Amino acid sequence: MQIRFSDYMIRSWKMDDAPAIVKYANNKKIWRNLRDAFPHPYSLTDANGFLMKVGSHDPECVFAIATKEQAIGGIGMVIGEDVHRYSAELGYWLGETFWNQGIMTQAVKLITAYAFMNLNLYRICAEPYEGNKASVRVLEKAGFQYEGRSRASVYKDGKLLDQLVYAKVKQ
């Protein structure tokens, strides 16, 4: 899969993306806002394990955000099961060098449209941790609506945090 936007693209991951993942993902500022499955420090072994895992997803639902030269971040969904089979949870990260340029807002808009058209989904949610104002801005600019707060639902970096619930529903 490949979707181009300005000087960037959303595309399938490739095994040779591992060094770029390590370059951009090995950042505590990124780790603080993601689940513990996203390690810190982030090693080449971690990147290779991640790439092996996402390469086996069917349907493909986890993608690289990239320039022509290299992967600079990731975006993807965990599709629900059973009664949640038409819903997915969205997650994303971007190398700090590329923050505050509108890249992630555009990527979220594009991946949401892709998911509604190709993955038979009707609802996509995201749950940024309290204090992650940049992620909240991305979601709001991408048309997600605030649905609520899950109090003390996350333990990250030695602290109990609330999660904010944002969602977009297929029109």
Peptide bond into 41 cis (omega under 30): yes
Write the DSSP assignment of 9-34 as a string of letters: EEE---GGGHHHHHHHH--HHHHTTS
Q: What is the total residue count of the chain? A: 171
What tens digit of pLDDT does each residue of 6-30 get? 899 999 999 999 999 999 999 999 9
Judged against a pLDDT cut of 90, whether residue 1 lies above it is answered with: no
Q: How far is CA 159 from each of CA 120, 149, 169, rounded to the nearest angstrom?
A: 37, 17, 31
Peptide bond into 59 cis (omega under 30): yes
Q: If you average pLDDT over residues 26-41, what whole number do you get?
A: 96
Q: If you average pLDDT over residues 56-81, what whole number do you get?
A: 95
Is beta strand 87-94 parallel, antiparallel or unpaired with respect to 123-126?
A: parallel
Of residues 132, 122, 123, the one with CA closest to residue 164: 132
Provide the pLDDT for residue 57.
81
d(CA 103, CA 165): 22
Judged against a pLDDT cut of 90, whether residue 33 lies above it is answered with: yes
Domains of the chain: 2-127 (3.40.630.30)
Provide the pLDDT for residue 55.
84
Structure tokens at 121: 């989904």
Q: Supply the Cα-derived Rg of the chain in whole angstroms.
A: 15
Provide the pLDDT for residue 5.
92
Look over the chain and give the mean of its residue pLDDT values, rounded to a whole number: 96
Provide the pLDDT for residue 105.
98
Provide the pLDDT for residue 171.
87
Peptide bond into 19 cis (omega under 30): no
Structure tokens at 114: 């892709």
Helix or strand run (H / E) with residue 147:
strand 145-156
